[in-house]
C-alpha cells in the first residue's frame, strides 16, 4: 500500500471518481437503448446503431465511445464490437443476459441510499425512511425476485453441487428469504429426493412458485409466508439456506435468527449461508468488501461480515463448527455450519 517515492501526485483518480456516476448512467443507457444487442445483431457503425436504437447519431457516437473507454465495447476504425463479457451478459439474445438486473440494482430503493451517504455515515445506518430495504413487505423484494433470478442461476447450481454432491438421499430443506427461489429450486433439480420449503413475503413467494413450476419441481415445493423472524419454521430440516440474507441485519439479530435455525434443524443438519465475505482486513477482495457500503446506505444496521464474525454468530447460536467455501467464479462464498 506504500507509494513509491518516485511517483508524482496526480489529481486523475479524483476526477475519475467525481465522474464515476457517469459510468453507471452510461451502462444503464447502453442497456436501455439495447446498444449491446444492436451490435450483436451486426449493427456496428454509429449510423447503423443509431438507427437500430432510435437515438441520435451524435448521442450514439458519444455513448459508444464512452462504453469503449469503460471497456464494455471495442472499437476498430469506425466499427464497434462487443467484448466477451458484453456478448455474454449484455446482449438480449444471450441466455445469460443480465440487463434485467438493472431494474433492481438501479431502483431508487437501492441507489437512493447512496444519495444520502453522508447522513448514513453520520448515523451508522440507512438514512432512507422505513428502515430502507428491510421494512415489512417492501415491494423491492418482488422487483429483486424478478430482476435478479438470471444472475443467480449459476451460483445456485454451484451451491447445490457443493452442499449435496451425491444427491442420493432424501433432504428436507428450508429456504429462508427465498426471493426468486432459485437456490432451493437448484437443490430440488440437483436431487430428486429433495423437498423444499420456501419462506418469504407473500408477494415474493408468487415469483418463487412460478420459478419452481418452470423448473418442474412444484410438487416438492411448499411455502411459508411472512417474516423469518416471526413465523414458525417447523423442524427436522436437513438443510436451512440463508442466501444473501444475514447482511441486512446486525450481529445480535443474526444470532437470534441462527438460534431459531439451529432449533429447526434435525441432528446432523446444516445451515448453509451464502454471503459477500470480506477478508479479516475488511478491504479485500474489493467487491465482497465493498458490499458493506451498500448495506450501510440501504439498511439500518446491516454489514458484510467476515468469516470470523459469521463463525462467531453460528457458534453463539449453538452450531458446533463452521467452514468457509469459495464459489468461483462468483464473488460470494458459502459458510456451512453444522448442528
Among 42, 118, 268, 320, binds its own copies (CB under 8 A): 118
* Residues 191, 173: Cα–Cα separation, whole Å: 11
Cell matching residue 190: 440437483
Judged by CB, which is closer to its own copies: 6, or 166? 6
Residue 122 beta carbon to its own copies: minimum distance, rounded to whole angstroms: 5
Stretch of 138-146, 192-200, 279-287, 315-323 lying at the interface with its own copies (CB under 8 A): 279-287
Judged by CB, which is closer to its own copies: 167, or 251? 251
Among 25, 103, 137, 168, binds its own copies (CB under 8 A): 25
Q: Which residues contact 201 (CB under 8 A, 6 or more apart)?
A: 136, 137, 138, 141, 142, 225, 226, 227
The residue count of the chain comes to 339
214 binds its own copies (CB under 8 A): no
Contact letters (x/-) for its own copies, 133-172, by CB under 8 A? ------------------x---------------------
17 binds its own copies (CB under 8 A): yes
Residue 163 beta carbon to its own copies: minimum distance, rounded to whole angstroms: 22
Among 42, 76, 232, 267, binds its own copies (CB under 8 A): 76
| Contact call for residues 306 and 280 (beta carbons, < 8 A) | yes
Residue 315 beta carbon to its own copies: minimum distance, rounded to whole angstroms: 23
21 binds its own copies (CB under 8 A): yes
Judged by CB, which is closer to its own copies: 33, or 221? 33
Give how far Cα 67 sits from Cα of 29, 139, 198, 257, 275, Å. Answer: 10, 32, 40, 44, 30
Cell matching residue 300: 439500518
Among 9, 95, 129, 268, binds its own copies (CB under 8 A): 9
Judged by CB, which is closer to its own copies: 21, or 170? 21
The number of C-alpha atoms within 13 Å of 274 and in the hemisphere containing its C-beta is 26
Q: Which class for 212: exposed (0-12), middle (13-18), buried (19 or more C-beta within 10 A)? A: buried
7 binds its own copies (CB under 8 A): yes
Residue 187 beta carbon to its own copies: minimum distance, rounded to whole angstroms: 23
| Contact call for residues 132 and 247 (beta carbons, < 8 A) | no
Cell matching residue 42: 451486426
Residues 308-337 that bind its own copies (CB under 8 A): 329, 331
CA 217 to chain centre: 23
* Residues 43, 255: Cα–Cα separation, whole Å: 54
CB burial string 94-106: b at 16+ within 10 A, e below: beebbbbbeebbb
* Residues 39, 27: Cα–Cα separation, whole Å: 15
Residue 36 beta carbon to its own copies: minimum distance, rounded to whole angstroms: 11
Residue 245 beta carbon to its own copies: minimum distance, rounded to whole angstroms: 19
Among 33, 144, 237, 245, binds its own copies (CB under 8 A): 33
Among 42, 84, 129, 268, binds its own copies (CB under 8 A): 84
Residue 121 beta carbon to its own copies: minimum distance, rounded to whole angstroms: 3
Judged by CB, which is closer to its own copies: 294, or 336? 294
Task: Kindly determine how many residues on this chain lie close enough to bind its own copies according to the rule CB under 8 A.
Answer: 91
* Residues 8, 2: Cα–Cα separation, whole Å: 13
* Residues 286, 307: Cα–Cα separation, whole Å: 15
Judged by CB, which is closer to its own copies: 119, or 206? 119
CB burial string 20-40: b at 16+ within 10 A, e below: eeeeeebbebbbebbbbbbbb
Contact letters (x/-) for its own copies, 189-208, by CB under 8 A? --------------------
Judged by CB, which is closer to its own copies: 1, or 166? 1
Amino acid at each position: 500500500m506504500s507509494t513509491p517515492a518516485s511517483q508524482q501526485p496526480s489529481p486523475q483518480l479524483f476526477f475519475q471518481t467525481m465522474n464515476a456516476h457517469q459510468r453507471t448512467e452510461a451502462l444503464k443507457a447502453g442497456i436501455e437503448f439495447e446498444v449491446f444487442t444492436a451490435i450483436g445483431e451486426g449493427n456496428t457503425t454509429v449510423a447503423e446503431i443509431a438507427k437500430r436504437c432510435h437515438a441520435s447519431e451524435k448521442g450514439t457516437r458519444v455513448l459508444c465511445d464512452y462504453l469503449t473507454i469503460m471497456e464494455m465495447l471495442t472499437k476498430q476504425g469506425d466499427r464497434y464490437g462487443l467484448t466477451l463479457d458484453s456478448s455474454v451478459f449484455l446482449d438480449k439474445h444471450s441466455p445469460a443476459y443480465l440487463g434485467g438486473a438493472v431494474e433492481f440494482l438501479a431502483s431508487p430503493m437501492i441507489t437512493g441510499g447512496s444519495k444520502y451517504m453522508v447522513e448514513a455515515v453520520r448515523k451508522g445506518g440507512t438514512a432512507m425512511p422505513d428502515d430502507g430495504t428491510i421494512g415489512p413487505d417492501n415491494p423491492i423484494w418482488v422487483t429483486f425476485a424478478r430482476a435478479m433470478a438470471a444472475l443467480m442461476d449459476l451460483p445456485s447450481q454451484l451451491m447445490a453441487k457443493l452442499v449435496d454432491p451425491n444427491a442420493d438421499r432424501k433432504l428436507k430443506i428450508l429456504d429462508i428469504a427465498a426471493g426468486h427461489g432459485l437456490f432451493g429450486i437448484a437443490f430440488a433439480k440437483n436431487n430428486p429426493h429433495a423437498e423444499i420449503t420456501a419462506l418469504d413475503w407473500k408477494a415474493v413467494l408468487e415469483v418463487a412458485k412460478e420459478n419452481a413450476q418452470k423448473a418442474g419441481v412444484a410438487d416438492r415445493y411448499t411455502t411459508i409466508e411472512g417474516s423469518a423472524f416471526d413465523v414458525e419454521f417447523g423442524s427436522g430440516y436437513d438443510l436451512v439456506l440463508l442466501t444473501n440474507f444475514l447482511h441486512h441485519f446486525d450481529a445480535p439479530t443474526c444470532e437470534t435468527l441462527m438460534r431459531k435455525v439451529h432449533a429447526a434443524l434435525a441432528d446432523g443438519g446444516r445451515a448453509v449461508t451464502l454471503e459477500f465475505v470480506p477478508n479479516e482486513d475488511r478491504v479485500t477482495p474489493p467487491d465482497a468488501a465493498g458490499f458493506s457500503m451498500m448495506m450501510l446506505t440501504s439498511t439500518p444496521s446491516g454489514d458484510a461480515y467476515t468469516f470470523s464474525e459469521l463463525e462467531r454468530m453460528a457458534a453463539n447460536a449453538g452450531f458446533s463448527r463452521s467452514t468457509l467455501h469459495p464459489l468461483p467464479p462468483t464473488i460470494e462464498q458459502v459458510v456451512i455450519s453444522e448442528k
